[in-house]
Amino acid sequence: MVSKKTPLSIPVPSAGEVRSAKGSVDLSSDRVRVTLKTGESIEVLLYGATVTSWKVDGEEKLWVSEAAKLDGTKPVRGGIPLVFPCFGPNSSALNLPQHGFARLSNWSFLGENSEEPSSVQVDFGLSPSNIPDELKGKWDQNFGLIYSVILGQKTLQTKLVVQNEGEEKWEFQVLFHTYFKVSNAEKVSIKGLKDVTYTDKVLGGTTASEDNESVTITGETDRVYAKVPTDRETVIEQDGKAVFSVKRKNLEDVVVWNPHAAGAEKIGDFEPKEGWKEMVCVEAGSVGEWTTIEGGSVWEGGQIITLA
């Protein structure tokens, strides 16, 4: 959905901790930590605006590689990296790195903008001036991004506002590359994708229709499910019991990825190599096609993850 509204402008705060009736927001030089009064917490790096931790009842819900770089030297392997303005092999067509530049850029923290009584929202901004110097000029569209991360007692919501601040239309793709932490990937079932056509990147880009009620991890898995009805939730089950559900807004595609043993061995920053057993990526996005945004228009999309 594209509209002509203007994103909210929020003053950039200084470092420190802000406490409220809901919890606290702590800004340091490189990350933001949010903790609710009820104990739930998130951590978001300013580099890439990458969510690197989501804890509920003291338990981590996101998987992050032990070899992940958290110092801004490369994209984070794990958590929720943000893919924009292009996905996968489309990146090379635009002369950009894999999955674009959003996860490679230092975002500005725009502050807390909480409206719901039981949640805390923190906002981050990205403009052309934030893109790494070596990438400036390779994608010369005039844009503005506002990325919101909203922590609730049993929910985590991420949403992105994209504004075309120029006069000419352009195209983009977007994806929330969520690494869910599980106890055994081979006993995970992913529901909500039956009868959806997918592209199997492991099998060279062949397409097929999902005939099964559940998608399971039996080997290296890399599929892009296209045009999944947005009123259909994606449910992740462990040992037959629902663990996470994902609702999507204005995002019609779902990527399912797990490198399994052979794939993990080929990824330098994937540690431990047996870590594939403890994660599964179920990624809400708009990547099967390009989204066109007219000059002066705004697009918004997002996901809501709920603990079952």
Q: Where are the alpha helices (DSSP H) in the chain?
A: 90-93, 260-265
Catalytic: which of 177, 210, 252, 300? 177
Catalytic: which of 112, 237, 283, 300? 283
Q: How many CA atoms lie within 13 A of 308 on its CB side?
A: 14
With CA atoms as reference, report the closest residue to 196 among 234, 166, 169.
Answer: 234
CA distance 305 to 30: 25
Let me know if 283 is a catalytic residue.
yes
Ligand-binding site membership of 103 (annotated): yes
Distance from the first to the final alpha carbon of the chain: 29
Length of the chain: 308
Determine phi and psi for 155, rounding to 5 degrees.
Answer: -135, 155
CA-CA distances (angstroms) from residue 207 to 76, 89, 222, 224, 234?
Answer: 30, 17, 12, 9, 20
Q: Which sequence positions are flagged as catalytic?
A: 177, 283
- List, as residue ranges, the binding site for substrate: 77, 98, 103
Binding residues: 77, 98, 103
